Structure 1
């Protein structure tokens, strides 16, 4: 009989590899939404600590003792959700989202409405130099599919996601989820092109 021994360091490598892959593919664990974006250095902080704490918080422990059957049940019930956005953004752009976000969140950890607000904020951040808006040469990369007029129109449409007035909230509600998902993907395309042209 062949016995395979997997060392702790090998388990750690697998944990990091899998969390990185899932994060890059746009997945989020609903019950632990920050795990894939910011996995712990020591996986046991999650596999033992966070899971144990959640079980205790839910009152499913046995006087402070957490049984392995309960752990397995929790792990089996975790919900993996894939973000609706299909546009891959690189690390530099994601870092810019973190910098401009009020809560310093990475893009994949934002709600759809927050993504739309932060896309509008980032486009403005990229285009505004010394208090004035510049006009990148969009046709150089996008032909006529993206132009300064289309970017300006997009930014205006996204204003309702940036503000909390009654009118803005009412306007947000007029968009379907499919429309919002399209606006996220379109906005990310504008961000990627603008970021490239600003280099």
Structure 2
């Protein structure tokens, strides 16, 4: 579990925010960097599905009001020349977390019972952040596969997100239309009842 709270409004500008539902939240474990006495910035990566450059107020859109996202952008970092490596969810998430082009792995939108696309021995952004003293978390839609495929949601699922650099996770495995639609916290179904297995 993350040890540091999310920064208050007063110190949010010290946070490093990058744009675009949360893929990872990365916080310094002790709040101190390798340089003695210097505080490391918090890093929050937000990745959303089906949002374009012209959909948010911080980029000039006016049709739909986005005051909270606009505030994050004004107090953090807003990308103006960043591009998604793919136009769909699974490949974009894969590229963001691994730094690899999704087409090199044939990453496409996965079915709900797919094996984990990112292998435990692959270099990932969260694993690199851990090496720098950060506590990492993934919250939201995952859609990068779980376990070895056809996961048994009645058991802890391995390999899971902790094997690729996340200290904590609270995810929905795929999309809401994939069965079973469950929430997983640290690779286990939340609220699973032994007398009512999946």
Larger radius of gyration: 1
Structure with the largest fraction of strand: 2
User: Which TM class, normalised by the smaller chain length?
Assistant: under 0.3
* Structure having the larger proportion of residues in helix: 1
The TM-score normalised by the length of structure 1 is 0.22
